[in-house]
């Protein structure tokens, strides 16, 4: 009997240590980005949410950290998958910087493209952006297309690919995207509006898509009433042109 009690104690201790190990591996420091340095992955988000992130910081929950970790694992899988094909992976996690020398403070857009690739034997280079997703979309999501535009501009590529990998069964979809100057210009204007709002310490009007509000960390501080999201409408003509046939 005493041996069983001892075994149970060791079992409970092991269980506790395993849980701690997993939780510790998912812990992330609260993020508070630097004014003047903006991320391609965030600029398309609700401009008021971005303002709050820069002013207050953003605590990363264990659940969200887990989602990020799943994304990292899927990225590694896709990188390795491409390397076994006729695709030449020229670089991964490619750093990019775009500088706008504004006054009184410059504006930087810093990020990392997932991969720079080309078909073996050909000269044209493409940016590949990997996305893990719950359900495969019928077309690339607008904020992903916009994020890719920063990488295309910085790396001087005329086209790229958004590769979606479904989390449940690893089904995939690949969408080619062409660079469109009008889309890029609109994103730069958006970054400048956020930059000015932060420098002037003035809250911008929210422009979230309705789905963003459901997951927003600052929805209780947002002045909008629940369910009254004012969607930022994309230019249909521009968006239609960037998604290749």
Dist CA 244 CA 178 (whole Å): 6
Q: Computed from CA positions of residues 170, 155, 187, 204, in that sequence, does the dihedral angle turn out positive or negative? A: positive
Taking 3-state DSSP, the helix, strand and coil percentages for the chain, each rounded to the nearest 5, stand at: 40, 20, 35
Dist CA 49 CA 34 (whole Å): 15
Q: Read off the pLDDT of residues 136-171 as tens digits, 9 standing for 90 and up.
A: 999 999 999 999 999 999 999 999 999 999 988 889
Decide if 132 contacts 70 (C-beta within 8 A).
Answer: yes
Q: Give the residue among 32, 26, 28, 27 at the shortest CA–CA distance from 58.
A: 32
Tell me, what's the pLDDT at 228?
47
Q: Tell me the CATH number of domain 37-242, given options 3.10.450.40, 3.90.320.10, 1.10.8.50, 1.10.357.10.
A: 3.90.320.10
Give the domain ranges of the chain: 37-242
Q: Computed from CA positions of residues 52, 55, 61, 66, in that sequence, does the dihedral angle turn out positive or negative? A: positive
Q: Please give the model's pTM, rounded to 2 decimal places.
A: 0.79
Other beta carbons within 10 Å of 131: 20
Q: Read off the pLDDT of residues 73-116 as tens digits, 9 standing for 90 and up.
A: 777 888 888 888 889 999 999 999 999 998 888 999 999 999 99
Q: Read off the pLDDT of residues 29-43 as tens digits, 9 standing for 90 and up.
A: 545 688 899 999 999
Dist CA 47 CA 126 (whole Å): 29
């Amino acid at each position: 009997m005493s041996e069983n009690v001892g075994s149970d104690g060791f079992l409970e201790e092991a269980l506790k240590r395993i849980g701690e190990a997993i939780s510790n591996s998912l812990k992330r420091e609260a993020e508070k980005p630097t004014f003047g340095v903006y991320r391609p992955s965030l600029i398309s988000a609700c401009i008021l949410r971005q303002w709050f992130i820069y002013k207050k910081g953003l605590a990363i929950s264990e659940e969200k950290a887990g989602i990020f970790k799943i994304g990292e694992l899927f990225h590694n899988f896709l990188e390795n998958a491409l390397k076994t094909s006729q695709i030449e992976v020229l670089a991964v996690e490619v750093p990019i910087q775009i500088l706008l020398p504004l006054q009184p403070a410059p504006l930087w857009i810093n990020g990392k493209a997932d991969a720079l690739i080309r078909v073996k034997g050909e000269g044209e280079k493409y940016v590949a952006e990997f996305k893990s997703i719950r359900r495969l979309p019928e077309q690339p999501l607008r904020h992903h297309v916009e994020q890719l535009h920063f990488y295309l501009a910085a790396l001087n590529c005329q086209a790229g690919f958004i590769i979606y990998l479904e989390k449940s069964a690893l089904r995939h979809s690949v969408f080619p995207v062409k660079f469109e100057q009008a889309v890029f210009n609109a994103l730069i204007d958006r970054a400048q509006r956020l930059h000015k709002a932060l420098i002037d310490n003035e809250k911008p009007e929210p422009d979230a898509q309705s789905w963003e509000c459901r997951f927003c960390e600052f929805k209780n501080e947002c002045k909008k009433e629940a369910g009254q999201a004012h969607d930022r409408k994309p230019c249909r003509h521009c968006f239609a042109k960037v998604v290749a046939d």
